[in-house]
Chains A and B, each alone.
Chain A
Amino acid sequence: MAAPHPLSSAPVPSRLQRFFASEFFHNYRRNLSAVLGSLIVLGFLFMVTIGPFLVSQNPYDVAQLDLMAAFKPPAWLAGGSSEFWLGTDGQGRDVLASIVYGSRISLIIGLVAMGGACLLGTTLGLIAGFYGGRLDAIIMRIADIQLSFPSVLTALFLMSAFGTGLDKVLIALISVGWVVYARTVRGSTLRETQKEYVQAARVSGLPNRKIILRHVLPNVLTPLIVVATIQVGTFVLIEASLSFLGVGVPVTQPSLGLLIKNGFDVLFSGLWWVSIFPGLFIMLLVFGINLLGDFLRDELNPRLK
């Protein structure tokens, strides 16, 4: 057994090479909706990072706006201009440029809020699952109460209490979003702490903090990938609802949801493009995220294998 392994001299494949050779990647390539979903999401990421440099104007720079160009229809309709592919709104803003900047706000809110909810929920879930007892009871009862309200309603309530603003939206989203992580993590933590490797760590004299961070945490993360992916989509939608209702982001930083609201007033005057195009983009983004999430759920859930 101590004899040198015949493979030990072979070059060790890099992380990336191992990924491309993995069963995960193999299944991904054969799953059309997963590829489509990730292409959509990648497209959005590309759009919000590079997009601002490609579009003709910065819709927030008043100096660049031309009121004379207000309510121009999309380029392919009569009266449209090739300068504004998807038309303009009442202030002469390019709808496409607004969508690029709006998607950026929407995605940033979705991602940051997801990160915050994940951090908070995972921490509380670890504490509840690891220590149990009264702490567990308190945390999980709060979670139960939280879950018994529709999350849009809770967020709406919080927003009307705090006032509007980007930071307030994030706080509202995090406080409705942490529960799902806490519950998932608590369940996995209960299961993992029963395993012998955690007992071995205790026998080795590791303090609880190290056991949690080094042993429990890395082993409860996998199911969170699915939750987190889907949640970005959910958060984009909730934020859009809040902004549409007027309690979301400020008008100076319009997200996709606010764009819909801005166009909504003129929707029935035949100026449909101001509102419909941002709506289509939200749909596309959430659709892509959910396709990806469904694939990850199937791949990462051992029970479905």
Chain B
Amino acid sequence: MSNSEQVSSPLLRVQELRTWFHTFGGLVKAVDGVSFDLAPGEIMGLVGESGGGKSMIGFSIMGLIDPPGRIEGGRIEFDGRNLVSLSEDEMRGIRGKEIAMIFQDPMTALNPLYTIGNQIEETLALHTALSARERRAKAIEMLHRVGIPQPEQRLNHYPHQFSGGMRQRVVIAIAMIAKPRLLIADEPTTALDVTIQAQLLRLMRQQVVESGTSMILITHDLAAVSQMADTIVVLYCGRIVEKGPAEAIIARPRHPYTRGLIDSIPHETAETDGPKPRLSQIPGNVPDIRRLPPGCAFAPRCRFATEICRTTDPVLAEQPAGRSSHPHAVACHHPLAVSP
């Protein structure tokens, strides 16, 4: 990362992170040697299909890996501190205050037995020295900021009295109220309708931009990520296959997997008369992560694969000729040409 323009050091530096699960069926290398930097204020999209390991990166950063899972190696440097070596007590001081997380199902983050007001104020009591009156005022202000009408009354409502979209707004309010420096959002809008999705993505972006928070957006939805993120990291079977500036990844993907993902999104060419053209598809299925083939994990599904792909692991290497100052790196023996 030598050519990084930013003088400031990254807020988060993940190096060679390996999170493995020792299950009965075999060793699941959910995250296997993942490295990336996240600058202050940067929005990074973590993209991949199910089994790609994207959620496990989020959980690893939060220190929420439970047995049979274990962080086997690597560093997660947050603001100069290695989170991997911190104790559970020390992590508790960071979770919620400096790093907040939003999940796909807002009900997992909200306690059904307490009012929304209780839950927001509890977060404040935990991380600030505000008085009860100040906490209440702050909670109302926060609910207002995330677009919940009549926040004074809504404070006294229970989670089940909110719709799915409104619940996720409350979760965003709780996540952002302690002004975290990093927000990890794991499929935050997947369970919601498109009209609500767009509202919430806007809300989240506005919130992190206003408070200068960095954000990791974990999703399978390439389109949503391309709308939000500054940089994109694409994962396949626990490894990074490509990372770089969002525009470059979407417009000029260099890894055949990224290219395949983008091409398999149904697009407009369908509106012709006569027989419809077929979508371009990635053949085959995601392999069993416990029995990955040697070499490149994507090789069995890749039409450019050659002998070397089936024997040797490709290394994530920066590609020359990027117009942007951000490095565009790809782990492929035969990266695609830049031309469209």
Contacts and interface: CB of A to CB of B under 8 A. Distances in A.
B67 interface: no
A26 B23 CA distance: 12
B24 A1 contact: no
B283 interface: yes
Contact of A23 (B24, B283, B284): B24
Contacts of A23: 24-25
B300 to A, nearest CB: 11
A1 B283 CA distance: 8
Interface in A3-51: 23, 26
A23 B24 CA distance: 6
Nearest to A26: B24
A23 B26 CA distance: 11
B26 to A, nearest CB: 11
Interface string B272-299: 0000000000011000000000000000
Contacts of B24: 23, 26
A164 B67 CA distance: 55
A190 B224 CA distance: 38
A1 B24 CA distance: 28
Interface residues of A, number: 3
Nearest to B283: A1
B158 to A, nearest CB: 25
Contacts of B283: 1
A1 B284 CA distance: 6
A158 to B, nearest CB: 44
A293 to B, nearest CB: 22
Nearest to B24: A23
A1 B25 CA distance: 24
A161 B283 CA distance: 71
A67 to B, nearest CB: 61
A28 to B, nearest CB: 12
A26 B26 CA distance: 13
A1 B301 CA distance: 11
Nearest to A3: B284
B66 to A, nearest CB: 13
A26 B284 CA distance: 32
Contacts of B284: 1
Contacts of B25: 23
Contacts of A1: 283-284
A26 B24 CA distance: 9
B24 to A, nearest CB: 4
Interface in A131-149: none
Interface in B244-297: 283-284
A205 to B, nearest CB: 32
A23 B283 CA distance: 32
Contacts of A26: 24
Nearest to B285: A1
| Among B24, B25, B283, B284, residue most surrounded by chain A Cβ atoms (within 10 Å) | B24
Interface string B193-227: 00000000000000000000000000000000000
Interface string A151-186: 000000000000000000000000000000000000
Interface in B76-121: none
B185 to A, nearest CB: 28
Interface string B44-80: 0000000000000000000000000000000000000
A289 B25 CA distance: 29
A68 B158 CA distance: 80
Nearest to B23: A23
A237 to B, nearest CB: 36
A10 B283 CA distance: 25
A23 B22 CA distance: 13
A139 to B, nearest CB: 31
Interface in B4-26: 24-25
B225 to A, nearest CB: 29
B69 to A, nearest CB: 14
Interface string B302-327: 00000000000000000000000000
Interface in A170-214: none
Nearest to A24: B24
Nearest to A22: B24
A289 B283 CA distance: 51
A5 to B, nearest CB: 12
A23 B68 CA distance: 14
Nearest to B25: A23
Nearest to A23: B24
5 contacts: A1-B283, A1-B284, A23-B24, A23-B25, A26-B24
Interface of B: 24-25, 283-284
- Identify the 3 closest CB pairs spanning chains A and B, nearest first: A23-B24, A26-B24, A1-B284
